[in-house]
């Protein structure tokens, strides 16, 4: 396979032809961090588009603000940014918008912490397995990926719960989907409440405008 150059910034070596090879590349100093680069079903998907400030960035900040507090109280760890999740059974290695994994899940072996090179204590670079929660915020460049390819892969990986949020339109679309053997099941309650099995409560995601007309978000525990 020839080396692939994406937008003059992201060079994909020709040797990256398997999940194992992709994981080695992702841990190497040569791995570019100017884009989100995922391995989904033997395909490398590169997203170099910047996050929209008010339909992605500030929305993610609100999710992390609320979920971080809830996760800490439940002996869970919440991650965002460049946190890589890999599943061998799902042929998947991705960096979701938000990830949560509990100490109970780690203790069970369902998710394994992959140590950093050199085996330094308390240093890890990857989550291997099916986390308790994954959140994906839809952007213009990732609609089919976020709504079709990734949900199928996350289900195959055994992710317990998937949150999908799309704030690009006139209304915010927010669903919480629970893993079941036959597929994802949407946990919806009255009044637009989405129920989370992982956190044991319901959520309502509200969007309004501030005095300057900018979008602001509130993740309300219902």
Q: What is the pLDDT of residue 2?
A: 46
CATH code for residues 51-221: 3.90.1570.10
pLDDT at residue 95, as a whole number: 97
Using pLDDT thresholds of 50, 70 and 90, give the confidence band for residue 7.
Answer: very low
Q: At 48, is the pLDDT very low, low, confident or very high (cuts 50, 70, 90)? A: confident
User: What is the pLDDT confidence band of residue 81, given thresholds at 50, 70 and 90?
Assistant: confident
pLDDT tens-digit profile of 10-35? Answer: 667 878 999 999 999 999 988 988 78
More confident residue, 198 or 191: 198
pLDDT at 117: 84
Q: Is a pLDDT exceeding 80 seen at residue 213?
A: yes
Q: Quick one: pLDDT band at residue 6, thresholds 50, 70, 90?
A: low
Domains in the chain: boundaries: 51-221
Q: For position 5, what pLDDT does the model report? A: 46
Q: Per-residue pLDDT averaged across 134-140, rounded?
A: 97
Q: For residues 4-14, give the mean pLDDT.
A: 60
Q: Output the pTM of the full model.
A: 0.92
What percentage of the chain carries pLDDT values higher than 70?
95
Residues 6+ apart with CB under 8 A from 11: 3, 4, 5, 30, 32
- The DSSP-derived string for 134-172 is EEEE--GGGHHIIIIIHHHHHHHHT-SEEEEEE-SSSS-
| Residue-level length of the chain | 222
């Amino acid at each position: 396979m020839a080396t692939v150059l994406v937008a003059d910034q992201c060079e994909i070596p020709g040797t990256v032809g398997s999940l194992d090879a992709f994981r080695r590349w992702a841990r190497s100093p040569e791995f570019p961090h100017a884009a989100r680069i995922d391995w989904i079903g033997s395909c490398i998907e590169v997203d170099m588009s910047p996050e929209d400030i008010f339909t992605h960035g500030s929305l993610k900040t609100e999710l992390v603000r609320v979920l971080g507090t809830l996760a800490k109280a439940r002996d869970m760890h919440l991650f965002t940014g460049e946190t890589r999740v890999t599943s061998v059974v799902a042929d998947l290695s991705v960096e979701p918008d938000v990830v949560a994994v509990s100490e109970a899940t780690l203790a069970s072996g369902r998710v394994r912490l992959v140590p950093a090179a050199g085996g330094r204590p308390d240093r890890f670079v990857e989550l291997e397995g099916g986390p308790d929660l994954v959140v994906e915020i839809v952007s213009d460049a990732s609609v089919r990926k976020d709504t079709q390819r990734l949900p199928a892969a996350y289900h195959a990986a055994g992710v317990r719960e998937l949150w999908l949020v799309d704030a690009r339109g006139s209304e915010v679309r927010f669903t919480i989907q629970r893993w079941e053997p036959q597929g994802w099941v949407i946990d919806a309650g009255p009044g637009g409440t989405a129920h989370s099995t992982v956190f044991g409560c319901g959520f309502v995601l509200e969007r309004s405008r501030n005095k300057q007309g900018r979008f602001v978000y509130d993740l309300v525990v219902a």
